[in-house]
Amino acid sequence: MMHIDIPGLQEFKALATARGEVFVSLYLPTSPLHPDANRIAFKDLAKDVILQLREAAVSERIIESFERQFGVLSGRIQKSLDDNKYRLSRANPLASVEEFWKSQAHGLGVLARPETTSMHTYRLPIRPKPLAEVADRFHLAPLIRAMTSPLEIFVLAISEGGARLLHVVVNMPTARVPVPHLSEDPADTLHHPSLHVRAPRGRLQNLEGEKILEAQYARKVDRAVEEALVGRSTPMVLAAAEPMLSIFRKVNTYPHLIAEVIEGNPDHRSDAQLGDAALPILDRLYRNEVKGILALYDELKPYRATSDVSHVAHAATAAAVERLVVDLDRVIPGLVSDIDGSVTYSVSDDAETYSVLDEVARRALCTDARVVCARSEEMPAGHALAAILRYAF
């Protein structure tokens, strides 16, 4: 079964602000059908990194620490390794390594630092280009793309017949999310025989009693979902029919529940069918958001909105960007000053430069700006980005 790991904003900030003498970033396209080929490709990139470290005259102690980490993840070294996304079993580490490689999606990112027993691994729904980079910081462009593109949405299917939370990701099978304290049977969740009250039972009287039980059930589902999705900013769509649709909306506390719904009784649809219904909703959600930001951009330019890359780089460095629409398919090579955000452009992309657009998006995300990836044809007048500023900058 495929899995994905897209970092949340706080996790991304920690990665984006981390600095050190030697940080390693590995990215490779993977296939859920070829686990052995995925592992071989990873080993090849790991060898490339070790070669770069030796050529840079990095100490043998640091090199050995990376070799040990890569060896554990590849299964060559029988030692357990805990990472923030995937826990390898202490009892049988090789079995967990095998499961890890069998559960790949379409891309893999591995971020490592020396002299540690942990690394960050991200199984991605996108196919990044192969990359093995040694620097004083992590290379995060593929993660930025995954975080700012319309790639995932949650579906909460709720009815009198039960509730289930689904994770829907582009180009991947719909997966059911385990939710503690939530049973598929409302009676088990409520510890009550049924949501229906056909005769007086205690203080519950017929239809009035049913409404009370339905509201109690909706609140219990909401609390369970809130715990399962804590720290997430992924949109969620309801799959429900009335009256449960309105009842749940009244008690919902997940801040990213969207207005559009998958109508009808979800009990009549499989997980896959609900996932298929959710993807067009996800695309419309992002496209409408892009249109809304660009409409506001037209209203606020030139004082509180700009599409000048150098201007936006300065603003992002000063935490002055509120919203950013960016075409990450465009590559503008160069360097952005850590001090004031001034841009030094380059004729071509090389080992000494990076994509200015990626770096601007990184800085905007780290200062809590809303960043959305857009298609080139959606961008105004062929610009690579469009920013709304928090104040005239």
Identify the CATH number of the domain in which residue 195 sits: 3.30.420
The mean per-residue pLDDT over the stretch 266-285 comes to 97
Q: Report if residue 162 sits inside a domain.
A: yes
1: confidence class by pLDDT, cuts 50, 70, 90: low
Chosen domain end from 128, 147, 166: 147
117 and 181 fall within a common domain: no
260 and 281 fall within a common domain: yes
339 and 309 fall within a common domain: yes
Give the number of other Cβ atoms within 10 Å of residue 213's Cβ.
20
Q: Report if residue 293 sits inside a domain.
A: no
165 and 48 fall within a common domain: no
CATH classification of the domain holding 358? 3.30.1330.30
136 and 191 fall within a common domain: no
The mean per-residue pLDDT over the stretch 84-94 comes to 40
CATH classification of the domain holding 137? 3.30.960
SS3 341: coil
Chosen domain end from 104, 132, 147: 147
267 and 342 fall within a common domain: no
The mean per-residue pLDDT over the stretch 158-176 comes to 93
Q: Report if residue 277 sits inside a domain.
A: yes
260 and 186 fall within a common domain: yes
pLDDT in tens, 56-72: 999 999 999 999 999 99
Domain count, the chain: 3
Q: Which domain holds residue 316?
A: 301-389
265 and 382 fall within a common domain: no
**Run of H or E residues at 45:** helix 35-55
141 and 165 fall within a common domain: no
239 and 312 fall within a common domain: no
Query: C-alpha dihedral over 321, 351, 338, 142, to 10 degrees?
Result: 30
84: confidence class by pLDDT, cuts 50, 70, 90: very low
Q: Which of 151, 178, 138 lies closest to 362 in space, CA to CA?
A: 138
183: confidence class by pLDDT, cuts 50, 70, 90: confident
Q: Report if residue 343 sits inside a domain.
A: yes
What tokens appear for 353 in the block?
A: 């430069």
Axis-axis angle for helices 356-366, 9-17 (nearest 10)? 120
Residue burial 162-198, b: 16+ Cβ < 10 Å; e: rest: bbbbbbbbbebebbeeebeebeeebeebbeeeebebe
> What pLDDT shows up at residue 36?
93
Q: Report if residue 103 sits inside a domain.
A: yes
137 and 175 fall within a common domain: no
282 and 355 fall within a common domain: no
The mean per-residue pLDDT over the stretch 251-270 comes to 97
Chosen domain end from 286, 319, 354: 286
Percent of the chain whose pLDDT exceeds 70: 87
